[in-house]
Structure 1
Amino acid sequence: MSKAPASTLLGVSLKMYFGHRQTVSWCQEVARMAAGHPALAGGKVTLFVLPSFPALVPALQAFADSPVQLGAQDLYWQDSGPFTGEVSGPQLREAGCRFVEVGHAERRRLFAESDLDVAAKTAAAVRNGLTPVICVGEQQQMPVQAAAAVCTGQLAVAMGTAMAQGDGSAPIVVAYEPVWAIGAAEPASTEHIRGVCAYLQDWLGTQDTFPHYRVIYGGSAGPGLLARLGQEVDGLFLGRFAHDVQALAGIVDEAAARLQ
């Protein structure tokens, strides 16, 4: 089973931390950094950013002359209709999005999203030409094999609807985010991350569909982590540690160094 091209993948979700003007300003600063960074310009490292919905269009404008790719933090599972307050896959694609996050632990906890909801959103992303960033992770600390079983179970459901619809040729990203590490002072241990991600890689490699996949780690991911991880991990999914653009630039440097 083949994988996506060998570059390091970095994603940043801004969640709801920034106001609108601050988001646009941050995107402009990131665009300047990325345009001048040889690893991003040369394709050794891929960077995508997920701002809040109101900032998508100005963010796309900010990233226009840079290699940064745009994504959204969520989508609805229907493509159109009387769904007040929701945002559809076709709307996101038309707005310039390439990626969309689905199944984050906060969505599951705060909005009671189930594995079946995540599956429907994954299918909506794929059929609209968006790369889903499927978040999986165990609630409590547990051994690697047990954590991997939880994650592959979540992933099997999440991918199931899209596979049933025959959309398995699309690329997907799996973001391993142990829930107990989200927002913590430190990420999970290096051994734990590598172990679970190795299981995820092996499991994805046995599937007959979705041959183009990446496995990245989130959950208090920050500077210095990527250098300690092996090839089981294809990149990082960053949160608050990317709010400082210079820190983000340093993580891009770390990502580039892995491929030398």
Structure 2
Amino acid sequence: MYFDLSKTAQYIQDCAPLGPHALSHNVDIFVIPDFISLTAASTVLRLEAPTIRLGAQDCFWEDSGAYTGEVSPAVLKSIGCSIVELGHAERRRLFGETDEQVAKKAKAAVRNGLTPVVCIGEKTQGTPLEAVEECRSQIESILEVTDQEIIFAYEPVWAIGQPKPASAEYVVAVTKELRKLCGGRMVRFLYGGSAGPGTFDAMREGVDGLFLGRFAHDIGNFRRVIEEVGS
């Protein structure tokens, strides 16, 4: 909810040239605007940047029915979304979402051909081992409901919105252990939490990419991150 409708439209338009730029660096990129903007964003990306994946910020665990105010994963798929973000720390904190509910949403997303981007992370800063144990149920609940591709966005809750990201040493230690929980499953790990240019290089041994927040509002930052990951 940082952007209004017109600012989101302009942002999607500004992102379009990043599609071929990312493709040339063998990097996947996605944008996840608000629900109201999805249809217009889908049109722009389909015509001008078809390699940029479009995502939604949430979905419900049923495809249809008497669920006023919820958003169907089937509808998201029909308007051009290919991914859906689930279980963000704000959803868990403000709306009480549980691991079980997030897993039900992930199952519904996969059922409709959407790739879940599941946010995980520990609430307070401690040791890497403590972080892994807190994240264990967040990961295992998802692995139990699907064997399809999953993207985990590892965001230490204590690092979100801070001036600097969590230390690279810490993130690499945590994500290497979290990856072990997944066995040989088809997963990718992104780091989020004050991520921006310069973050990925130090963490590349543990993560596959970045989950950008406010730093991506600057298209120049977004472009630099693409180049950094692509290197």
TM-score w.r.t. the length of structure 1 is 0.85
Partner Cα separation in structure 2 for residue 186 and residue 239 of structure 1: 13
Q: Pick one of 170, 174, 192 that aligns with 1:192.
A: 170
Is the 1:200–1:215 Cα contact (8 Å) retained in structure 2? no
Establish whether residue 112 from structure 1 lines up as the match of residue 96 from structure 2.
yes
Opposite residue 33 of structure 1, the aligned amino acid is L
Q: Percent identity?
A: 45
Opposite residue 4 of structure 2, the aligned amino acid is G
Opposite residue 173 of structure 1, the aligned amino acid is I
Opposite residue 201 of structure 1, the aligned amino acid is R
Partner Cα separation in structure 1 for residue 28 and residue 171 of structure 2: 21
The total of aligned residue pairs comes to: 229
Establish whether residue 176 from structure 1 lines up as the match of residue 154 from structure 2.
yes
Query: Unaligned regions of 5+ residues in structure 1, if any?
Result: 1-15
Q: Pick one of 4, 8, 18 that aligns with 1:23.
A: 8
CA-based RMSD: 1.2
Question: In the alignment, what sits opposite 2:31?
Answer: 49
Task: Return the offset for 1:153.
Answer: 1.9
Is the 2:84–2:116 Cα contact (8 Å) retained in structure 1? yes
Question: In the alignment, what sits opposite 2:70?
Answer: 86
TM-score w.r.t. the length of structure 2 is 0.96
Question: In the alignment, what sits opposite 2:217?
Answer: 243
Question: In the alignment, what sits opposite 1:4?
Answer: none
Query: Unaligned regions of 5+ residues in structure 2, if any?
Result: none
Q: Which has the higher helix share?
A: 2
Q: Pick one of 118, 121, 127 that aligns with 1:143.
A: 127
Partner Cα separation in structure 1 for residue 214 and residue 25 of structure 2: 24
String of CA shifts for 1:113-168, please: whole Å, max 9, x gaps: 111111111111111110001111100001001101111221112332x2xxxx41
- How do 1:123-138 residues align onto structure 2 when only pairs under 5 Å count? 123-138=107-122
Structure 1 stretches of 4+ moved >3 Å: none
Opposite residue 23 of structure 2, the aligned amino acid is A
Opposite residue 186 of structure 1, the aligned amino acid is K
